[in-house]
């Protein structure tokens, strides 16, 4: 597919679900691309938004309907939404990003240069947290990729033919977690390289999550077992150094809670040992949450999360191990 045929060279595929607060910035960044409009298209896939995102996306699409498309998704998660977009795409290349991302002005132009310069079937770009130093506590979500090897769909480019050959994203990953690494590992296992191109840059917002949002995010851990079952060797060598279902602090807190339950039924030395385990676990949990160094208004919520997070993470980790019949740690 070439520009001379009247088709775009690269198709930007973006799943959208309740991203109305981010869409104006995303649309402005896409409008500011240095790559001429006739060389790329944008496909937005609304995956069941209820916050007005669909209306915002529709209004933006209507300003340039020849190069912008809004697809109605089915609420089945970003992997399915991306596959819908890939099916509709006309470009030789698929540029993947998210609705809360802000691409740099030269993002698409650099992406096409990278595919030509490297000769690769897929390339990975850099992700910069924005604004810098905006994290407000240990439960903030700060995503950065300055060295490569993360393969995050916030900044990836794939040859469309390759994606179709490999079956696209695995829709069994029903939430936005590890479906991108799964696809990348399948590409690598097929014998292709994925070079990192730091000049191909986007910004990811720093998310200072509420306690409820932080706890809800632990649901993603269920997919670790599915991933490990599909890629057992790569899981241990490449993913686990970056993603662990439970940290040592989580385990200590869970042991502390167990000890607290058993203490009333014990006596003597066993009771003393259990008390030490409980005290150590809660001390580590509170220390990890930086409870005492937090602003006074945050101390109660951080103390709550120091216990609630390990419990929630343990539940979803166990749920995944059972559902996918694969024990990981």
pLDDT in tens, the chain (329 residues): 344 468 999 999 999 999 999 999 999 999 999 999 999 999 999 999 999 999 999 999 999 999 999 999 989 999 999 999 999 999 999 999 999 999 999 999 999 999 999 999 999 999 999 988 888 888 888 889 999 999 999 999 999 999 999 999 999 999 999 999 999 999 999 999 999 999 999 999 999 889 999 999 999 999 999 999 999 999 999 999 888 899 999 999 999 999 999 999 999 999 999 999 999 999 999 999 999 999 999 999 999 999 999 999 999 999 999 999 999 98
Other CB atoms within 10 A of residue 151 CB: 21
For 295, phi and psi rounded to 5 degrees? -55, 145
- Helices of type H across 238-295: 248-262, 268-288
pTM: 0.91
Backbone φ and ψ for 15, nearest 5 degrees, come out as -75, 145
pLDDT for residue 2: 44
CATH class for the region spanning 3-208: alpha beta
Domain ranges for the chain, please list them.
3-208, 248-323
pLDDT at site 126: 98
Q: Can you tell me the distance from the alpha carbon of 281 to that of 284, in angstroms, rounded to the nearest whole number?
A: 5
227 close to 178: Cβ distance less than 8 angstroms = yes
Looking at residue 203, its pLDDT comes to 97
Dihedral angle of Cα 108, 111, 112, 116, to the nearest 10 degrees: 170
CA proximity to 176, closest of 59, 81, 79, 259: 79
Residues 170 and 79 sit within 8 Å (Cβ to Cβ): yes
Identify the pLDDT of residue 132: 86
Q: How many CB atoms lie within 10 A of CB 200?
A: 25
Tens-digit pLDDT profile for residues 267-296? 999 999 999 999 999 999 999 999 999 999
């Amino acid at each position: 597919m070439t520009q001379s045929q009247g088709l775009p060279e690269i198709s930007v595929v973006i799943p959208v679900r309740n991203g109305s607060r981010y869409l104006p910035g995303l649309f402005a960044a896409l409008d500011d691309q240095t790559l001429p409009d006739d060389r790329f298209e944008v496909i937005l896939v609304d995956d069941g938004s209820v916050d007005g995102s669909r209306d915002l996306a529709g209004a933006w699409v209507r300003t340039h309907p020849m190069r912008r498309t809004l697809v109605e998704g089915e609420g089945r998660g970003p992997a399915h939404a991306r596959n819908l977009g890939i099916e509709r795409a006309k470009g030789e290349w698929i540029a993947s990003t998210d609705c809360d991302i802000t691409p740099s002005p030269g993002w698409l132009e650099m992406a096409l240069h990278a595919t030509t310069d490297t000769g690769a079937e897929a390339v990975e770009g850099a992700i910069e947290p924005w604004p810098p130093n905006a994290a407000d506590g240990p439960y903030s979500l700060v995503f950065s990729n300055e060295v490569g090897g993360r393969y995050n769909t916030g900044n990836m480019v794939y040859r469309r033919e390759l994606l179709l050959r490999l079956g696209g994203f695995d829709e069994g990953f029903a939430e936005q977690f590890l479906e991108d690494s799964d696809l990348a590992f399948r590409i690598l296992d097929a014998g292709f390289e994925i070079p990192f191109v730091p000049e191909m840059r986007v910004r990811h917002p720093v998310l200072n999550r509420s306690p409820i949002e932080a706890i809800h995010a632990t649901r993603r851990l269920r997919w670790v077992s599915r991933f490990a079952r599909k890629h057992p060797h790569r899981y241990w060598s490449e993913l686990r150094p970056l993603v662990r279902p439970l940290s040592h602090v989580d385990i200590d807190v869970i042991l502390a809670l167990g000890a607290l339950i058993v203490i009333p039924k014990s006596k003597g030395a066993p009771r003393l040992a259990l008390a030490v385990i409980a005290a150590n676990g809660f001390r580590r949990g509170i220390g990890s949450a930086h409870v005492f160094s937090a602003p006074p208004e945050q101390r109660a919520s951080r103390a709550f999360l120091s216990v609630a997070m390990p419990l929630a993470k343990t539940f979803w980790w166990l749920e995944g191990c059972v559902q996918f019949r694969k024990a990981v740690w």
